[in-house]
Amino acid sequence: MKFDMYDTVIVLNNYSDEGVLKGELGAIVEVYTEPHEAYEVEFLDEEGKTKSILVLQPNELCKHND
């Protein structure tokens, strides 16, 4: 699935070391096409501060219907 900048997405895996768990919402902040499709996703804490930014493959995300 293709995502666009600023899409809200749901992460499909746990990334415990980064403080991100399956089912959390994040926002696409960068789209990569080379060397392969990937997305930089920002995750926020309860106070709205960045807690983690991960580069993820399309199969690690699904689109959130706002």
- Res. 66: pLDDT tops 70: no
59 within domain boundaries: yes
The model's pTM is 0.92
Structural domain including 47 reads 8-63
- Kindly state the average pLDDT of the residues 47-51: 96
Amino acid found at 26: G
Number of domains in the chain: 1
> d(Cα 29, Cα 66) in Å, to the nearest integer?
17
3 within domain boundaries: no
In the block, tokens 């990569």 appear at 32
Cβ within 8 Å of residue 2, ≥6 positions away: 37, 58
Question: What are the tens digits of pLDDT across the range 7-40?
Answer: 999 999 999 999 999 999 999 999 999 999 999 9
2 within domain boundaries: no
Largest CA distance in the chain: 35
Instruction: DSSP letter for 58, please.
Output: G
Q: Confidence class of residue 6 from pLDDT cuts 50, 70 and 90?
A: very high
**Contact call for residues 57 and 5 (beta carbons, < 8 A):** no
